[in-house]
């Protein structure tokens, strides 16, 4: 297992601009995300959170939408895009390299146009920075008939193979070999529809094959497909681009291939993981937040345990109101599962919240093999967590104390920030660049609702 791509990088560099001027672009972003290894977040615990936070568009939907824009030579416009996220910028660089014009504007708009594909090669140097860039494979193959994409490798939360992606594309007629660390795929006559039954649920493999199947000849059936809201959002955007897709949100998706896709405009679904993260923050600090432009229906399996733990959660029009009704959250067990089960991307934050619970909580991780890296760091802050195999037992403690901590992945990092919001004294979270991969303006959003937090 290698540490790196999606969750860690071994080199941190300033981003170069991914934007290119187009007639429609309102305001182009400068490469303003300049985080170095030395940047830290300092949190002083003690303040309850009160106020409003605007929830951003879902990172895990936007990344797929950006790849899907490779499927057409028309311009595709997305709104509610978290343009400040490092992952969005990184993928923008990969897509620019392939020939796409990527214009990101500070009002959350992305205008993408792959009028021609300049190269079908996505090199290691670009792919290694972000694992999800392997999702250019299916669209390149479907539109261009060939693709060479660097293997993304493992990452800090597990080996993360992509065998299901490759087997699925082979079943659709692609000729695939692995040479010198690259996936080399060809389908000179185009892809053909196939019946693909996944042995277990994979979000990435479902995304990859859904995109590829839109331009394949005939029908593709994906069985045991992932049902995540981001996949539904991706499918809906593809339908607006002219794709014929049925069964989104169920475990059987049927796609009738079409000759070509065209441009569209699509508003990206709210980030349910960002939503859940701020809910857990309230569980720790108390207070009340209005989470703007997001929906409880995106998080079925998170709402129930949060309510059992003592939070009140209410949909109010386009917003969610969340508050903690009791002085302490109650110990509550959870187990991660594919959607609509409890999301693995919320496990670390839920665990941070359980550190101060009344009683104990058993947290079981079933999706990734190595996703408890926040445990030793939380324990350094005074938590009482013991890992046994796939499960962690969290016994509630009276208080957490600030410490210097470091995490090696995105969700683990944010869990440490949450713990810092209630810890006595100062918590210094190192390797801030993880957070900037997936949480837009987290420091501004939290300080805007009363947290004592700053980036130095
Ligand atoms: C996506 C999300 C990630 C989330 C995860 C699970 C994006 C960009 N990332 O990741 O935030 O944590 O879903 O909800 O959307 N697997 C294989 N072979 C494959 C593919 C996957 O063995 O070909 C395994 C993985 O190692 C893992 C499990 O299947 O153990 C689920 O992975 P998958 O659902 O594919 O996750 P990602 O799409 O990588």
pLDDT of the chain along its 456 residues, tens only? 223 233 333 222 334 444 444 433 433 343 344 556 678 999 999 999 999 999 999 999 999 999 999 999 999 999 999 999 989 999 999 999 999 999 999 999 999 999 999 999 999 988 888 888 999 999 999 999 999 999 875 556 556 789 999 999 999 999 999 999 899 999 999 999 999 999 999 999 999 999 999 999 999 999 999 999 999 999 999 999 999 999 999 999 999 999 999 999 999 999 999 999 999 999 999 999 999 999 999 999 999 999 999 999 999 999 999 999 888 999 999 999 999 999 999 999 999 999 999 999 999 999 988 899 999 999 999 999 999 999 999 999 999 999 999 877 899 999 999 999 999 999 999 988 888 889 999 999 999 999 999 998
pLDDT of residue 126: 87
Yes or no: say if 368 and 390 are a contact pair by the CB < 8 Å rule: no
Q: Are residues 310 and 440 in the same domain?
A: yes
Please indicate, yes or no, if residue 47 is contained in any of the structural domains: no
Give how many domains the chain has, as a whole number. 2
Q: Does residue 337 form part of some domain? A: yes
pLDDT at 150: 92
Both 236 and 323 in one domain: the answer is: no
Last residue of a domain, one of 251, 267, 283: 267
Enumerate the β-bridge partners of residue 239: none
Quick one: 259 and 277 in the same domain? no
Q: Residue 48, Cβ neighbours under 10 Å: how many?
A: 18
Residue-range definition of the domain harbouring residue 206: 57-267
> Last residue of some domain: 267, 288, 306?
267
Q: Would the CB of 155 count as within 6 Å of ligand 1?
A: no
Residue 242, burial from CB neighbour count under 10 angstroms (0-12, 13-18, 19+):
middle
Q: Examine residue 42 and state whether it is found in any structural domain, yes or no.
A: no
Give the distance (Å) from ligand 1 centre to CA of residue 29: 30
- Asked if residue 22 belongs to a domain, the reply is no
Distance 327 CA to ligand 1 centre (A): 37
Distance CA 181, CA 179 (A): 6
Element (H, E) at 126: helix 124-127
What is the C-alpha end-to-end distance of the chain, expressed in Å?
Answer: 32
* Residue 19 within a domain: no
Quote the ligand 1 centre to 449 CA distance (angstroms). Answer: 33
Nearest-angstrom CA–CA distance, 364 and 209: 29
The verdict on the CB of residue 163 being under 6 Å from ligand 1 is yes
Q: What is the CATH number of the domain that holds 413?
A: 3.65.10.10
Task: List the Cα angle 192/195/196 in 5-degree steps.
Answer: 105
DSSP 341: S
In a domain, 284, yes or no: yes
* Other C-beta atoms lying within 10 Å of the C-beta of residue 377: 24
Catalytic (active site) residue 67: no
The dihedral formed by the CA atoms of 56, 58, 64 and 65, expressed in degrees to the nearest 10: -40
Rounded Cα distance, 5 and 158, in Å: 11
Residue whose structure tokens are 């490798």: 153
Report the atom number in ligand 1 closest to the C-alpha of 230: 15
| Best residue for ligand 1 mutational test, from 137, 160, 166, 269 (most atoms within 8 Å of Cβ) | 160
The answer, yes or no, to whether any atom of ligand 1 lies below 6 A from the CB of 359, is no
Structural domain includes residue 6? no
Gap between the Cα atoms of 345 and 371, Å rounded:
10
Q: Is 203 in the pocket of ligand 1 (CB under 6 A)?
A: yes
The answer on 432 and 293 residing in a single domain is yes
pTM of the model: 0.93
Q: Do strands 109-113 and 75-79 pair parallel, antiparallel, or not at all (unpaired)? A: antiparallel
Q: Which pLDDT value is given to residue 157?
A: 57
133 CA → ligand 1 middle, Å: 13
**Cβ–ligand 1 contact at 202 (below 6 Å):** yes
- Is ligand 1 within 6 A of the CB of residue 6? no
Q: What is the CA angle 430-18-110, rounded to 5?
A: 100
Q: Write the CB contacts of 328 (distance below 8 Å, at least 6 apart in sequence).
A: 310, 356, 357, 358, 396
- Ligand 1 geometric centre to CA of 22 (Å): 35
């Amino acid at each position: 297992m290698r540490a790196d791509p999606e969750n860690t990088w071994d080199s941190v560099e300033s981003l170069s601009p991914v934007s290119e001027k187009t007639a429609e672009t309102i305001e182009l972003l400068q490469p303003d995300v300049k985080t170095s290894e030395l940047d830290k977040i300092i949190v002083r615990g003690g303040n309850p959170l009160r106020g409003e936070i605007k929830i951003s568009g879902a990172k895990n939907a936007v990344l797929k939408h950006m790849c899907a824009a490779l499927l057409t030579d028309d311009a595709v416009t997305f709104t509610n895009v978290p343009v400040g996220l490092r992952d969005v910028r990184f993928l923008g660089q990969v897509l620019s390299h392939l020939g796409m014009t990527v214009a990101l504007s500070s009002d959350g708009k992305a205008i993408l146009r792959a009028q021609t594909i300049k190269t079908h090669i996505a090199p290691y140097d670009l792919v290694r920075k972000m694992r999800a860039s392997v999702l250019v494979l299916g669209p390149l193959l479907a539109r261009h008939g060939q693709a060479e994409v660097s293997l993304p490798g493992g990452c800090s939360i597990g080996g993360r193979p992509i065998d299901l992606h490759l087997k699925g594309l082979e079943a659709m007629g692609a000729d695939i070999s692995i040479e010198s660390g690259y996936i080399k795929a060809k389908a000179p006559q185009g892809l053909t529809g196939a019946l693909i039954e996944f042995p277990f649920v994979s979000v990435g493999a479902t995304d990859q094959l859904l995109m590829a199947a839109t331009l394949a000849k005939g029908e593709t059936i994906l069985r045991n497909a992932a049902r995540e809201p981001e996949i539904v959002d991706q499918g809906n955007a593809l339908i607006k681009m002219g794709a014929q897709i049925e069964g989104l949100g169920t475990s059987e998706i049927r796609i009738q291939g079409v000759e070509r896709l065209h441009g569209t405009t699509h508003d990206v679904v709210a980030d349910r993981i960002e939503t859940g993260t701020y809910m857990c923050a309230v569980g720790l600090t108390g207070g009340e937040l209005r989470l703007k432009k997001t929906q409880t229906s995106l998080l079925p399996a998170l709402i129930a345990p949060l309510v059992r733990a003592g939070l009140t959660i209410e949909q109010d029009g386009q917003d969610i109101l969340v508050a903690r009704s009791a002085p302490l959250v109650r110990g509550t067990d959870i187990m991660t599962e594919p959607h609509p089960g409890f999301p693995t991307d919320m496990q670390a934050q839920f665990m941070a919240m359980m550190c101060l619970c009344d009683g104990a909580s058993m947290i079981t991780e079933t999706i990734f093999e190595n996703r408890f890296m926040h445990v030793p760091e939380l324990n350094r802050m005074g938590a009482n967590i013991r890992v046994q195999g796939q499960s962690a037992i969290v016994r509630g403690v009276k208080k957490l104390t600030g410490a210097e901590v470091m995490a090696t992945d995105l969700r683990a990092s944010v869990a440490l920030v949450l713990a810092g919001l209630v810890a006595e004294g100062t918590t210094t979270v190192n390797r801030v660049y993880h957070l900037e991969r997936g949480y837009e303006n987290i420091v501004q959003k939290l300080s805007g609702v009363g947290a004592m937090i700053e980036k130095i």
